[in-house]
Structure 1
């Protein structure tokens, strides 16, 4: 069978990503994106096998659904069966295939019409599988597309083996914020602007999440809804398992005051208050704050307590704003481009503080940035495109802030 030029080009691109990339997480994510794109598909996922638990866990997935906290018993279902047997499965028409008993993703809002699922086989053993679901134009997968997936899965498996990448299953993380089908519309006369078009996302306790996306894609709107700064037009929002879809103004005030902290690009410090006074002003609003002096010490600015904002550099002002956020002891900190106005050295200093907060205080930090290098230190990377979640990637080897280079 002659291989089309499109597939040859895609194969070369994926080979380059896998063989030449220093970041295996990014290489796998890029390979999956290329496979989903060239096969004109709705969704895809790479699953790796954790031998200790004998379960499959998603490393990255493309599509509107968040499956980060999902795991599959090896040998169960389509994905588990492919991993267990090492044999590929191609479902050309799920509605007519009597052997198809459903995909794991069917439980997460994706209705499988057709699917390719191929093993990650490094010759010695099967270490997981790659799954591609649903042609966007409604057509069915063919043998050439199956062979392309098998070829790339074999190359990916050997790369994973060479790099020594292993899935760290860990404990199932607690969901602190959950968005289901969240939409946001703005009306202007007869016209309606749809900014969010059905966001499905879970945010977990004690994780660092980076959100990437082009300007206007909806990432800031999503963050504002999570932070109680804006209302969703439709969908459901849960905070610690409680429905927060239609909060009262009092609910929002209590939530913003006690649950969430904010870090802004422009610092937003009060110019007539000292560094310590800026923090104390916020501490007085909450029920159980940490010591304002301790918060300032935490970001390395204890000796600057009496300085006013104009007497500090941009990086120092941003660290004061971080101290102002953590003094409330929030479960969640939302950071909108906190390093955009800073140079490289100062950015690393700020990111190092944020990394320490996640590590030592158990706080979840969700950060919007246009800098893809910062994503390398995140536990998960969320890409937003056109008002929807485009992809979710787990970093199995997140970098430290001091190791980032741009």
Structure 2
């Protein structure tokens, strides 16, 4: 009679081989494998660390599940548990007493094929509060080895990700809302960086804190605890006058409901915003860039939803922002019109402007550089996508 736990482990090994053989890229392969191993080990948190040998020669998290405080760290080979496991190609097992905050038990195993060590996989804390066993550590090591070998046999390419500067960062951010004596905590300790020239897509169920986080980054709301910085400047508890200047100088907004001024034409909507900033872009040029020069004299009521959203994007761009915040920009649009709008956003990112987008549409994650999934006020999953799809390839 085979032990049930052992049976689950053997079954997981078979699932890993099947998953990798059917994967078209390394992201899908690794993400599916880590989910299988995480389920077998009952780990609370799992992180894939990838060594960027062609970039900054550091280990970066490319996938994290349940990693509310780990996803913004990087390590040099030899530094910390992750760096030592990578440089020594030897697993680390701490059944208890790890000298790091919030870590009760830890397994870290190298992710290596027959030629080189690609990185490592880290499992932190069991979901039931108990500690990992030596048997679980051995199984995690075997499964990581099988995953790396199968990936190599399939000819999947890890690729190289360009390391970009951080423009905005949230650290241990908490947000409470008070209604009389009742206090509701919407954000419960969020750590997140936003990089220059990236499309960062944020998903999660209603009420999980997506829009609240967007509002804090946009300077439209203030955090209760923690820290928010933009280009190194601390806006955690800034006065309204400073936040107004911050929004005007650095941030563009795209809303689901467009929020255009109904009594102004398309070009007038842009000119009104352009006058708020000294070094704004040319409204005529920006309107042409989004393909709406022929609609310059139309009022919002005379344009389709997709055209209004493109005017909304142009209105955000005319300020030459460093970061655009988009809240469900395609939710009110049909498929064809949504793809048109996403194609414009794709051009925006390619031009070097960062876009932070909240959406419920899972398909949009395929075109993102990074995907963050929130749950109950914390970041529950983070995925680095090294091969983003084109907007025109999306289907829903």
TM-score, with structure 1 as normaliser: 0.89
Residue of structure 2 aligned with 1:170, choices 162, 168, 179: 162
Distance change (3 Å), C-alpha of 1:324 and 1:159 = farther
For the residue of structure 1 that corresponds to 2:186, the secondary structure is: strand
Cα separation, 2, equivalents of 1:358 and 1:401: 12
Residue of structure 1 aligned with 2:182, choices 167, 187, 191: 191
Residue of structure 2 aligned with 1:389, choices 368, 376, 379: 379
Correspondence 1:334 to 2:325: yes
Distance change (3 Å), C-alpha of 1:396 and 1:188 = same
**Unaligned segments of structure 1, at least 5 residues:** 96-101
Distance change (3 Å), C-alpha of 1:280 and 1:198 = same
Cα separation, 2, equivalents of 1:8 and 1:233: 47
Correspondence 1:64 to 2:68: yes
> Counterpart of 1:343?
334
> Counterpart of 1:98?
none
Taking only aligned residues, the RMSD between alpha carbons, in angstroms, comes to 2.2
Instruction: Indicate if the aligned counterparts of 1:377 and 1:398 stay in contact, CA closer than 8 A.
Output: yes
Cα separation, 1, equivalents of 2:17 and 2:264: 56
**Unaligned segments of structure 2, at least 5 residues:** none
Residue of structure 1 aligned with 2:48, choices 23, 46, 49: 46
Q: 1:252-271 alignment to 2 at 5 Å? A: 252-271=243-262
> Counterpart of 2:306?
315
Cα separation, 1, equivalents of 2:368 and 2:9: 32
Distance change (3 Å), C-alpha of 1:116 and 1:250 = same
For the residue of structure 2 that corresponds to 1:200, the secondary structure is: strand
Correspondence 1:286 to 2:277: yes
Is 269-278 or 208-217 further displaced after alignment? Answer: 269-278
Q: 1:2-401 alignment to 2 at 5 Å? A: 2-4=3-5, 6-7=8-9, 10-11=12-13, 14-52=16-54, 54-62=57-65, 63-65=67-69, 67-68=71-72, 70-73=74-77, 75-94=78-97, 106=100, 110-161=101-152, 162-171=154-163, 173-360=164-351, 362-401=352-391
Cα separation, 1, equivalents of 2:302 and 2:236: 42
Once the 2 structures are TM-superposed, how far is the Cα of residue 141 of structure 1 from its aligned partner? 0.9
> Counterpart of 1:99?
none
CA offset digits 1:135-191 (Å, max 9, x no partner)? 2433111133223312331232134322432242534x3222111111111222332
Once the 2 structures are TM-superposed, how far is the Cα of residue 301 of structure 1 from its aligned partner? 1.1
Distance change (3 Å), C-alpha of 1:56 and 1:316 = same
For the residue of structure 1 that corresponds to 2:160, the secondary structure is: coil
For the residue of structure 1 that corresponds to 2:343, the secondary structure is: helix
Once the 2 structures are TM-superposed, how far is the Cα of residue 10 of structure 1 from its aligned partner? 4.9
Is 283-292 or 318-327 further displaced after alignment? Answer: 283-292
Cα separation, 2, equivalents of 1:359 and 1:54: 25
After superposing on structure 2, the runs of 4+ consecutive aligned residues of structure 1 that deviate more than 6 Å are: none
Distance change (3 Å), C-alpha of 1:17 and 1:218 = farther
For the residue of structure 2 that corresponds to 1:373, the secondary structure is: helix
Count of matched residue pairs: 391
